[in-house]
C-alpha cells in the first residue's frame, strides 16, 4: 500500500513513517523542509499550499493519506491568515485531489483537543460541543466537517482523531504553546533545572508519541462503521498533573524532582493545564487506546527523545 504522510518531517510524522516502512508499506512523505526519512520512503519538499507540490506528493500513487501537516497553535494564533491558507484551504484542496485520484481512499486527519475551546467544561466526553476559541482549534473544527462531508459523499473514507498533548517533542521551537510539557522531559533527562509555566496541580491530557503512532496506524485500517457519524473521535489520553509527570520523569531519569520549579502563567494554565476528566467511549469502542499508566507513558516518551 502506498501511503502519503503530510507533515512527515515532524516528530510524529517521522515515527509514523518509520513504523509504516517497517511494516512494508511504500511511503511518500511531504513536508516544508527536507527530513531524513527511513529508506525507501520518498520525500517531497515544499509548501502544501502549492497545488504543484501536492500533485508531486500524490504522483507516486496514494492508497491512503495521513494528514499531519499543520500550522500549529501558537503559529496559527500569530498568523491567522497563514493558518487559514494551510489548515483550511490547502487541506480542503488536498482532500479533493486525493479523493479524485483514489476515490474512497482512507484519510486519517490529525485534529486536536483545541476544537473544544477554552476554558473547557467540567467534563469532556463525546457529547461535548465544539466551541473553539483559538484559530488553530477553529480551523481544525471546520475541517472535521469537511472530512465528514466528503466521507458521506464517498469521495474519501475519513477518520478524524483529535490528538491530546503528545510527548515528548524534540527540543527547540515548535510553534506550539504546549511545548513546555516536552521541555520538561529534556531538562530532567539532562539533569537541568526547569521552570514549569503551569502549576504542579495543573492537569493535562497526554499520550506518548509511540502510542500516538499506534493509534494512527490503527486508524489506517479501522472499519469506519465503528466510528460515530461525525467520523471524529477524541483519542483516549491519560489525565495527569504536571507534578505527577515531573516526579515520574525525575524517577526514571534518576534525578531529584526538586529541579522543577512551578511558576504558573495564567493564560497557559487555562489553555493547557486545566483539563477536566475525559471520557472517550467512541474512541475506546473503535479500538484506540492511551498509554495505560504514567510510568509507561514516561518510559515510552523517553524512548523516542
Give the binding range for a second copy (CB under 8 A) out of 128-136, 236-244, 285-293, 294-302: 128-136
Nearest to a second copy of 36, 223 (CB atom)? 223
231 lies in the site for a second copy, by CB under 8 A: yes
> CA dist 71 to 5, 10, 78, 137, Å?
15, 12, 10, 11
Q: Residue 143 or residue 286: which is nearer to a second copy going by CB?
A: 143
DSSP structure class, residue 264: -
CB-nearer residue toward a second copy: 135 or 268:
135
d(Cα 146, Cα 96) in Å, to the nearest integer?
10
* Number of Cβ atoms within 10 Å of the Cβ of 178: 25
Q: What is the distance between the alpha carbons of residues 305 and 302, in angstroms, rounded to a whole number?
A: 6
The answer to whether residue 186 forms part of the interface with a second copy (CB under 8 A) is no
Asked if 143 touches a second copy (CB under 8 A), the answer is yes
Judged by CB under 8 A, which of 90, 146, 283, 298 binds a second copy?
A: 146
Question: Should residue 270 be labelled a site residue for a second copy when binding is judged by CB under 8 A?
Answer: no
Choose one: 1-9, 126-134, 203-211, 212-220; the region binding a second copy (CB under 8 A): 126-134
Interatomic CA distance for residues 26 and 62, integer angstroms:
10
Buried-exposed string 43-71: b where 16+ CB fall within 10 A, e elsewhere: bbbeebbeeebbebbbeeebebbbbbbbb
Contact with a second copy (CB under 8 A): which of 18, 32, 79, 92? 92
Please give the residues from 200 up to 219 whose contact with a second copy meets the rule CB under 8 A.
none
CB 154 within 8 A of CB 103: yes
Q: Which residue has the cell 475551546?
A: 117
Nearer to a second copy (CB atom), residue 138 or residue 165: 138
| Contact call for residue 127 and a second copy (CB under 8 A) | yes
Question: Does residue 111 contact residue 161 with C-beta atoms inside 8 Å?
Answer: yes
- Min separation Cβ 116 and a second copy, Å: 9
**Contacting positions for a second copy (CB under 8 A):** 84, 92, 117, 121, 127, 129-135, 137-138, 141-143, 145-146, 148-150, 152-153, 228-231
Amino acid at each position: 500500500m502506498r501511503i502519503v504522510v503530510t507533515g512527515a518531517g515532524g516528530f510524529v510524522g517521522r515515527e509514523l513513517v518509520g513504523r509504516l516502512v517497517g511494516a512494508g508499506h511504500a511511503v511518500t512523505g511531504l513536508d516544508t523542509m527536507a527530513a531524513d526519512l527511513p529508506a525507501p520512503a520518498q520525500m517531497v519538499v515544499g509548501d502544501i499550499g502549492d497545488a504543484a507540490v501536492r500533485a508531486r506528493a500524490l504522483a507516486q500513487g496514494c492508497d491512503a493519506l495521513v494528514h499531519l501537516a499543520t500550522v500549529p497553535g501558537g503559529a496559527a494564533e500569530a498568523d491567522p491568515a497563514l493558518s487559514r491558507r494551510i489548515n483550511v484551504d490547502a487541506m480542503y484542496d488536498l482532500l479533493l485531489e486525493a479523493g479524485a485520484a483514489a476515490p474512497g481512499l482512507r484519510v486519517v486527519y490529525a485534529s486536536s483537543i483545541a476544537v473544544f475551546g477554552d476554558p473547557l467544561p467540567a467534563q469532556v466526553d463525546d457529547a461535548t460541543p465544539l466551541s473553539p476559541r483559538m484559530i488553530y482549534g477553529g480551523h481544525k473544527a471546520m475541517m472535521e466537517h469537511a472530512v465528514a462531508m466528503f466521507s458521506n459523499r464517498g469521495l474519501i473514507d475519513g477518520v478524524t482523531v483529535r490528538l491530546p498533548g503528545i510527548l515528548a517533542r524534540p527540543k527547540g521551537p515548535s510553534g506550539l504553546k504546549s511545548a513546555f510539557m516536552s521541555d520538561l522531559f529534556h531538562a530532567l533527562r539532562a539533569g537541568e533545572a526547569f521552570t514549569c509555566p503551569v502549576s504542579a496541580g495543573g492537569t493535562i491530557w497526554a499520550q506518548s508519541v509511540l502510542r500516538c503512532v499506534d493509534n494512527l496506524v490503527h486508524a489506517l485500517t479501522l472499519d469506519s462503521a465503528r466510528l460515530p457519524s461525525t467520523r471524529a473521535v477524541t483519542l483516549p489520553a491519560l489525565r495527569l498533573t504536571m507534578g505527577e509527570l515531573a516526579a515520574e520523569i525525575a524517577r526514571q531519569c534518576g534525578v531529584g524532582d526538586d529541579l522543577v520549579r512551578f511558576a504558573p502563567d495564567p493564560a497557559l494554565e487555562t489553555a493547557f493545564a486545566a483539563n477536566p476528566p475525559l471520557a472517550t467511549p467512541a474512541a475506546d469502542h473503535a479500538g484506540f487506546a492511551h498509554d495505560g499508566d504514567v510510568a509507561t507513558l514516561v518510559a515510552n516518551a523517553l524512548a523516542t527523545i
